[in-house]
Structure 1
């Protein structure tokens, strides 16, 4: 077993495109998509289950040691929760109970239902899976006017398709594994490519606010 809480060259850091890459930067949240190991122990699959969750790195004693063990789940890491949501993950219902409760309420509100309407986790995960991946298993993206999107959404701009930007309080912040660059204003009437799934954009609009990890990255 290998302790994965320290910096690593493993391809277990998740981008807003949903890709798994190697990075020495530490993440603030832990992710789970099931066991992604190949028989040789390398991480070769993008997902093994439909429940993609975003967990805390801490337990009640203030410390969680994460082990990368083939045959169990493969620990993934996100810079912050906005990245996790862009990649298609929801709050964990066990280690982040309060966040998950608020998430479910926002999912209900996005559909015009009462906050306390019962919806099963299985149904949420099935809807999220259909919303985040297309028929070829690629991230399902769409175009929208920037003004339609809430703070916490990830987008790319035409002319710079390889740089994901977080829209936050009227500014677009370029993302790297080391954090966010300096935010800049943007034309709200401009069309953008949206990385955060439609379902999660609507959930954010309905009141769920992903945790964003500032300060910005060093130049």
Structure 2
């Protein structure tokens, strides 16, 4: 039976067999004895995006990965970086240093901070991410066309990623139906409240030129 460690664009953690391109964590939020989640869904404000393989390190998901047989941080998995950003995570400085530097420096440009630091990013994201109680602003169909590639939206319980003027429907297995990119535009979303899932800070960083890693299905 799959462990409950797969994250959707809303930041909710599910038990599904797919694993995706990236791993990440929010601190220790599992019981290693039962390999189940605790009631809390984060233990710190730094929610990060990691690579699945790094320096031949081997971890047992939801196991005892700290010295002394203690639980280490809880491994979470994402379809791609676009999904992880929507859920409120940001690149890890340990295993993705170059990408993390890029993200934080662009954050600094956006907010006029000469020497930006990761904790400054984390503090803002923790107030904005949906899974930690942040808002999901409603955007009009007209505003959708102005969102940067990599931003994610929700039409009810369905999530979509913006890419090349289209909205790509998200699933744990990859991206599917496209909306937009034709004379009708985003009329398919008309008369319904469309919510912005990706935190506002991250949307600003995407506008500044940060390029997240996409699942291959986005190219179809």
Asked if 1:93 corresponds to 2:75, the answer is no
TM-score by length of 2: 0.83
Aligned length: 201
Shift of 1:27: 1.5
3-state DSSP of counterpart to 1:182: strand
Please list, as runs of the form range in 1=range in 2, the aligned pairs for 1:68-217 lying within 5 A after superposition.
68-69=62-63, 71-113=71-113, 117-133=114-130, 137-144=132-139, 145-157=143-155, 161-185=156-180, 186-187=185-186, 192-215=194-217
Unaligned runs of 5+ in 1: 1-7
Spell out, residue by residue over 1:128-154, the C-alpha distance to the aligned partner (whole angstroms, 9 max, x if none). 1112158xx435211222133111011
Contact persistence 1:34–1:74 (CA under 8 A): yes
Inter-partner Cα distance in structure 1 for 2:173 and 2:99: 25
Which has the larger displacement, 77-86 or 19-28?
Answer: 19-28
Q: Name the SS for the 1:173 alignment partner.
A: strand
Q: What is the Cα-based RMSD across aligned positions, in Å?
A: 2.4
Worse-superposed segment, 89-98 or 65-74: 65-74
Closer, same or farther: CA 170–133 of 1 in aligned 2, 3 Å: closer
Conserved 8 A contact 1:31-1:52: yes
Partner Cα separation in structure 2 for residue 164 and residue 156 of structure 1? 4
Aligned position for 1:55: 50
Deviations 1:94-119 (A, max 9, x none): 10011011101110121245xxx212
